[in-house]
Structure 1
Amino acid sequence: MSPFLSNLKEKFCPYKLFKSKKENCEKREGHCSRILFLIFHLLLLFVALIIMGMFLMWSLSSFGESLFGIDFRTIIEQKIKGMVAGEYTETRQDGLIEYVNTELGISFSYPKEWKIKTDNNSIILKEFNYSSSKDFNSIAMSVSIGKMNITENSLEDFLRKKKEIVEFKIAEFGGNKVYQLEHEKVGDLHKVSYYWDREQIYYLDALFYNKKHDHADEDVLRILESVKFIK
């Protein structure tokens, strides 16, 4: 028997208390040893359960990040690469994975933020924010429509044909002041904005969610599919 258990046994079942009942104490001594043995191992089991629980939480967290991170990234990455020709390089720094299109100079980072660096010829993705807990706060993306002769009247006529209610204002886009038109459907929490300057027109399709989604990948695919070029 270990010294630790022997000391506890002496405290719980001292011989001096049973000088007149030596045999009774010897019987109790066996019971004391078994009880202390059980308590000691229950404590060990409790500590082991705590360690296992911590490891399980870490594993589930890593799995969740893999489920909503790597798979999520792959879907979006494939969509973007399909929309823009050219080779992509990947760099990892400070937990961010940055993709750079070497042909157009477009870059975006994952998973904390999606931003765009453009050479003023094209723009694919401006911003994409999401929470891995499936609570989507906002999803927004921008697509370049390409260089064309855009005037305020021609764009306004185009929007009138689509029967959209718009609002004109000056906005900052890519560090430049551009014209902006907005159309908002309050019921669907759906907001559409058009940005344009003298050479390019940008179409921003933003969907805002205030509820949980069980099929995050499908939502992202649906939103990406909804981004189309204006002709």
Structure 2
Amino acid sequence: MRFLATHPVNVGKILDSSYRLLMASYSKLLVYMFASGINEIFLNDLIEKVSASSFTALLEDPQTSVSLFVGFTGYYLFNCLCTAGMTYRINNITHQQQDSLLDSLKFSFKKLPALFFAAILYWLAVIVGVVLLVIPGIYLMFSLNFCFLFIILESASPYQSLKASHQLIKGAWWRITGIYTAPSVILIVLILLIAMVFSQFFPNDKALEDSVTNFLVAFITPYFLVLGYVQYHDQKLRKIGSDLDTRLSN
């Protein structure tokens, strides 16, 4: 079964390809999804600890500050590991190549340093953009979003991956952002509805409600990985065609 087109396609085809690829990949991603759900619960616990303390109190208690820093770093490292592992398996299913969970873990650990440093550069760029004028931050959030795919699929360095992602999305920002936004809104509304229904049955169990919400997010996340993967390949085809047209016109 072919999941990636050999020529640029419309939005409907991208969404259809993403759904089919997700269904074909889902069983191979379950371990990563469960692990991601536990990681999200861990993050939730860290955020609650930060919320319960004032900034001044954290500065006066270096031990707590260091433990929180280590916790957030560990969360993000594990998140990068899961992203690499899932993308590796999605790519192998696309190209009909056999792999195992152990293969994906070995691959993920190899890519982990580059992914982690790229993530730091990515969020620094986004935060600076938001602080300066909000809109640049939103622009960079999407224009640099394919950096992890360049690292995982093309072995780019952290800086090269960010630069390549920006170049790839240049001129197609609205289209790519729009494709991400539509399913995001639908899924956010769905999660909120499920959370509201759940709170009616368990009104006094906030921890259980948060856990269910975190696992829902973890089980939905692979769709956006697949959607990004399909868009990445579609946009590369568009760039190749555009570059060819430019060379021919010259």
TM-score (norm 2): 0.27
Bigger CA radius of gyration: 1
Q: Which has the higher contact order (CA 8 A, sep 6+)?
A: 2
The structure in which a higher percent of residues are strand is: 1
Structure with bigger helix share is: 2
